[in-house]
Structure 1
Amino acid sequence: MAASTSPPAAAAAAAAAWAFAVATCVKLLLVPTYRSTDFDVHRYWLALTHALPARQWYTDTSSQWTLDYPPFFAYFSRLLSLPAPLVDATLVSVPVPDSPPFAHLLYLRLTVAFSDLLLLGSVLLLARDARRRQRPFLALALVLWSPALLAVDHVHFQYNGFLMGLLLLSLYFLEQGWDLAGGMVFASLLCSKHLFLVAAPVYFMYLFRHYCCGRGVVKGLGRLVLMGAGVAAVFAAAFAPFVYYGQIQQLFSRLFPFGRGLCHAYWAPNFWVFYIIFDKILAFLLRRLGFNIAIPEASFTGGLVGDSSPFAVLPKVTPITTFLMVILAMTPCLVKAFSNPQPKHIIRWVSYACTCGFMFGWHVHEKASLHFTIPLALIAMDNLHDARHYFFLSIVSCYSLFPLLFENQEYLIKVMLLLTYAALMWVGFTSHFAANSDQEGKKVNRSGSTVKKNSFIGWIGLSYLLGIAAIELWSQVFHHLVLGDRLPFLPLIMVSFYCGVGMMYSWLWQLVYIVRHT
């Protein structure tokens, strides 16, 4: 039996619940805001899973919004659909209405806010973690008040809070040493959204060494079988019905549509931005030198989801190439997880794995930056270096999502969310490390003024962040004044490229830190 919650832990839990309540009020205010086509996707999945039997979920083609998430998310949609007829019967009818009434919008917005309770539960558990020092309230608030999560889930419209709750719950179990529970919750996450597969190699290495090895051959083999049986049971619960229906091949073709191309319509700020731009620069220079280089019309910049046009000069990138690059980038972390599997490092390792998938993966969505920025918030106050890194990364990540909210009515909202969060971090981090530089082994400068002034992030970091303001000023004002309607995709390219520089720095910083300190 776990010990009863200590007074400090209870206070942290109460503070986290208060932070969640504040975030919920903001979510309610965002109900009437812009919604992307993801709203139509999830509205259709709600109706699909309610109106049709499970054997038709992955074969139905009556809408362009075909179900392409794993079965547990389909079951989740089915669960959310159960009270829907009490609100409006057309919410769960197929086909869905072309123009949804406000009741549909309100219901789906509330389901997103309701599903965030899982995120709150995971944060509360992490707040009362008895096996490590108490997490500061600010670290928990950084998760619950994430402007990127608010923008993606409660404006753009997705269910990342629910999914991140599963991930954090799994990480909590691993930190506590409850490896079997952690592995099974992670398996449940994979059966809810398969894009978290990128973290599976770290989970495998860590669980194999920490849970199975070093306990004698017989006991280790028994634990390996137990872990395998637990994970297999989770996958069986998700996929067995569709194996029975003979639809497993159809299901997997929905989950892994490699024909969509290397990049999303809006380029995620990762390594491939530089590869594409370098290809275009080479093609331009070679044509100026007299070489007959064919440049595909609107290659990668047409704003379309689909198989991208071939590169003009550089070799075409294939899915297997991106897979190998992700594994190669992740290798130092895998070695660390295998050679020295300590629970205190698991959040950092899993975050790094998700970063590798974001930086080098195939058809990466810009929203996938949530997969590593949210967990990293939990360790942002472990030391001053982590605080500086998270301050920088969270701003870059959030700004990279700005193009998702492109309507005028949301502009002030997204700017204020980011500026408020940045101010919260600046005041919270500088105050914490100035006042507690000698506590809990913090190896920081003992001068409070050093922490409070520009050296908190350094002049290079500050200059880079000021560059974001310059990019935004060009995109919102000067692009139209200078170029008019020409090169409409240029502001998106500038945001992707500039944020890509920051993301590459974050990836390298995490890699160096893991190699040196874990």
Structure 2
Amino acid sequence: MEKPPNSRHQIDGEIWWPALVATVVKLLLIPAYRSTDFEVHRNWLALTHSLPLSQWYSDTTSQWTLDYPPFFAYFEKFLSFFASRVDPTMTHLHHGLNYASERTILFQRLSVTLSDSVLVYSAYRLTRNRNFSSFERFLIWALVIWSPGLFIVDHLHFQYNGFLLGMLLLSISFLEEGKDLVGGFFFAVLLCFKHLFAVAAPVYFVYLFRHYCRGGLVKGFGRLVLIGSVVLVVFAAAYGPFLYYGQMQEVFRRMFPFGRGLCHAYWAPNFWVFYIMLDKFLAFWLVKLGFNIQAPKASFTGGLVGDSSPFAVLPTITPLITFITVLLAISPCLVKAWRNPQPRMVSKWVSYAYTCGFLFGWHVHEKASLHFVIPLASTALTSMEDAKHYFFLSIVSFYSLFPLLFEAQEYPIKVVLLLLHTILMFFGFSSRFPARSATTAGAVVKGRDKTSETPAFHIGWFGKSCLFGLLFVEIWGQFVHRMVLGDRLPFLPLMMISIYCALGMIYSWIWQLRHIILIH
């Protein structure tokens, strides 16, 4: 195996090649499709620029109200200083509604691209002290920085996930180096940017308590006070001004709109897809059998405040039930972290926690799969089994994002991005795990040395069957459905994607759980 480069300067230079390629692709995507999230963030620029801080979380000028934690609001405020000079109308709260001039589009697209520098640095930092060859290091950088999921969600659909995931990877990198206090600090900062990352907070708490707060009662208690103080300072910096203005109730009401339905407008491929389908199936047959079953009128997927429809047959799922389910699902990981807090396992534990949140959480967005797919990229080269799992999971996850880009002109873009990613993984993993033959010492069969062969990277019949299934789902939705059914059952293609990808996500969850339990 190729030895890691001796020069830190050489490593620093290598990281900018994948970053430069990614930047070129992002610039080419500037004129492409934009979702309503583009207007959401433009309105947040205007809101934070035009109003005093005391009104940020109570303003209702636009339907796209501020619902991220304060640090993200401060981030938008920072961007608004430059935005107001690029195009003043962009930051005008009333006249700028649904505003999208060429300068506005360029500014917002570039703001996402520039903020991705945090992701680039975190990918570099996560690999710089690992015992990787140059090829292995470059492959992980490519899996993270060239992620088609990030291209689709951030640079087409429009969000800032690369920036936020960069902070998550930065936190993990410090924990892996044994710098627990700094790692905990960055995770606290991340929570004040986007609270949905709090799903991994139990893992952080148990790990830091057992790994950092050790060394006897006095030393351990002192470290507990220290890291607790760091977290409190971070949260005080974020929420303190709103507490001063008496706005905490408005802040939390916006951040936790539990009146929304169990599922998002597009059913994220998780466990609740099957629960809802089972309820509908049971209601259908009970009506056929003569039972008086009243099916709910509202949709489970509207995503609007107040849209929390009851189930027809099965017990209604509440936010508290999903919270308990997620915590129970994470518990095996917490036990492992408590018994043996190993820095090398942090990436897998955090990824597993986000997988549990995705599968069993309340009103989960399909984009949340990035929370565990991106960190798992850093562990994909641990073994061939890890590589095979990541190969399968990343394809399923990124394919599940296809419905976000529903216009015809973006169809070739998302297909090409996924195909290139698949080719990169296949040849990258094949090079990392080539077939090897080893002679068994002292064993001779018919005058020849008996050899054993370690197989090259392969996805096996199960992986091939699953990927061919994805191909069938895509061909049906794009070409066959309209030919066979016309305008009937228009929801079927989207439902097929959600259900099929949910099967893949559940398989990944079981795989991760099994490996976490078996690793001592």
Residues 63/276 of structure 1: CA separation in 2 closer, same or farther (3 Å cut): same
For the residues of structure 1 that align with 2:301 and 2:248, how far apart are their CA atoms? 35
Matched, 1:480 2:482: yes
Residues 105/256 of structure 1: CA separation in 2 closer, same or farther (3 Å cut): same
Residues 338/483 of structure 1: CA separation in 2 closer, same or farther (3 Å cut): same
For the residues of structure 1 that align with 2:308 and 2:365, how far apart are their CA atoms? 15
Residues 263 and 363, structure 1, Cα contact 8 Å, conserved in 2: yes
Please, which runs of 5 or more residues in structure 2 have no aligned partner? 439-450
1:61 matched residue in structure 2:
60
For the residues of structure 1 that align with 2:47 and 2:452, how far apart are their CA atoms? 60
Residues 261 and 300, structure 2, Cα contact 8 Å, conserved in 1: no
Residues 395 and 422, structure 1, Cα contact 8 Å, conserved in 2: yes
For the residues of structure 1 that align with 2:305 and 2:229, how far apart are their CA atoms? 39
Residues 394/477 of structure 1: CA separation in 2 closer, same or farther (3 Å cut): same
Residues 189 and 196, structure 1, Cα contact 8 Å, conserved in 2: yes
Q: Which amino acid aligns with 2:266?
A: Y
For the residues of structure 2 that align with 1:356 and 1:8, how far apart are their CA atoms? 40
CA displacement 1:329-386 (0-9 Å, x = unmatched)? 0000000011100100000000000000000000000000000000000110111011
1:201 matched residue in structure 2:
202
1:441 matched residue in structure 2:
none
CA displacement 1:98-124 (0-9 Å, x = unmatched)? 342111111100000000001111112
Residues 136 and 381, structure 1, Cα contact 8 Å, conserved in 2: no
Aligned residue runs from structure 1 range 388-403, under 5 A: 388-403=388-403
Structure 2 length as normaliser, TM-score? 0.93
Aligned residue runs from structure 1 range 431-450, under 5 A: 431-434=431-434, 447=453, 450=455
Residues 120 and 144, structure 1, Cα contact 8 Å, conserved in 2: yes
1:210 matched residue in structure 2:
211
Q: Which amino acid aligns with 1:268?
A: A
For the residues of structure 1 that align with 2:474 and 2:355, how far apart are their CA atoms? 25
Residues 12 and 137, structure 1, Cα contact 8 Å, conserved in 2: no
1:427 matched residue in structure 2:
427
Residues 366 and 401, structure 1, Cα contact 8 Å, conserved in 2: yes
CA displacement 1:298-319 (0-9 Å, x = unmatched)? 6336686752321111000011
For the residues of structure 1 that align with 2:138 and 2:437, how far apart are their CA atoms? 17
1:501 matched residue in structure 2:
503
Structure 1 length as normaliser, TM-score? 0.94
Please, which runs of 5 or more residues in structure 1 have no aligned partner? 439-444
Matched, 1:165 2:166: yes
Shift of residue 432, structure 1, vs aligned partner = 1.2
1:29 matched residue in structure 2:
28
For the residues of structure 1 that align with 2:311 and 2:437, how far apart are their CA atoms? 51
Q: Which amino acid aligns with 1:186?
A: F
Residues 48 and 73, structure 2, Cα contact 8 Å, conserved in 1: yes
Residues 264 and 305, structure 1, Cα contact 8 Å, conserved in 2: no
Shift of residue 429, structure 1, vs aligned partner = 0.3
Q: Which amino acid aligns with 2:67?
A: D
Poorly superposed stretches of 4+, deviation over 6 Å? 302-305, 435-438
2:456 matched residue in structure 1:
451
Aligned residue runs from structure 1 range 218-257, under 5 A: 218-257=218-257
SS at 2:433 equivalent: helix
Aligned residue runs from structure 1 range 463-474, under 5 A: 463-474=465-476
Q: Which amino acid aligns with 1:195?
A: L
For the residues of structure 2 that align with 1:55 and 1:302, how far apart are their CA atoms? 30
SS at 1:260 equivalent: coil
Q: Which amino acid aligns with 2:199?
A: V
2:493 matched residue in structure 1:
491
Residues 14/127 of structure 1: CA separation in 2 closer, same or farther (3 Å cut): farther
2:410 matched residue in structure 1:
410
For the residues of structure 2 that align with 1:242 and 1:304, how far apart are their CA atoms? 26
Residues 369/232 of structure 1: CA separation in 2 closer, same or farther (3 Å cut): same
For the residues of structure 2 that align with 1:48 and 1:75, how far apart are their CA atoms? 11
More displaced stretch, 281-290 vs 384-393: 281-290
Residues 170 and 185, structure 1, Cα contact 8 Å, conserved in 2: yes
2:512 matched residue in structure 1:
510
SS at 1:7 equivalent: coil
Aligned residue runs from structure 1 range 100-249, under 5 A: 100-129=100-129, 132-133=131-132, 136-213=137-214, 215-249=215-249
Aligned residue runs from structure 1 range 318-329, under 5 A: 318-329=318-329
More displaced stretch, 60-69 vs 291-300: 291-300
Q: Which amino acid aligns with 2:22?
A: A
Residues 435 and 453, structure 2, Cα contact 8 Å, conserved in 1: no
Aligned residue runs from structure 1 range 63-102, under 5 A: 63-95=62-94, 96-102=96-102
CA displacement 1:463-512 (0-9 Å, x = unmatched)? 11111111011111111112222222111111000000000000000000
Residues 202 and 337, structure 1, Cα contact 8 Å, conserved in 2: yes
For the residues of structure 2 that align with 1:77 and 1:146, how far apart are their CA atoms? 25
How many residue pairs match? The answer is 502
CA displacement 1:215-234 (0-9 Å, x = unmatched)? 01111000000000000000
For the residues of structure 2 that align with 1:302 and 1:44, how far apart are their CA atoms? 22
1:461 matched residue in structure 2:
463
Shift of residue 291, structure 1, vs aligned partner = 1.4
2:352 matched residue in structure 1:
352
1:47 matched residue in structure 2:
46
For the residues of structure 2 that align with 1:367 and 1:149, how far apart are their CA atoms? 9
Q: Which amino acid aligns with 1:71?
A: P
For the residues of structure 2 that align with 1:108 and 1:287, how far apart are their CA atoms? 52
Aligned residue runs from structure 1 range 278-289, under 5 A: 278-289=278-289
SS at 1:259 equivalent: coil
SS at 1:363 equivalent: coil
Shift of residue 97, structure 1, vs aligned partner = 4.0
Q: Which amino acid aligns with 1:35?
A: R
Residues 437/395 of structure 1: CA separation in 2 closer, same or farther (3 Å cut): farther
For the residues of structure 2 that align with 1:437 and 1:427, how far apart are their CA atoms? 20
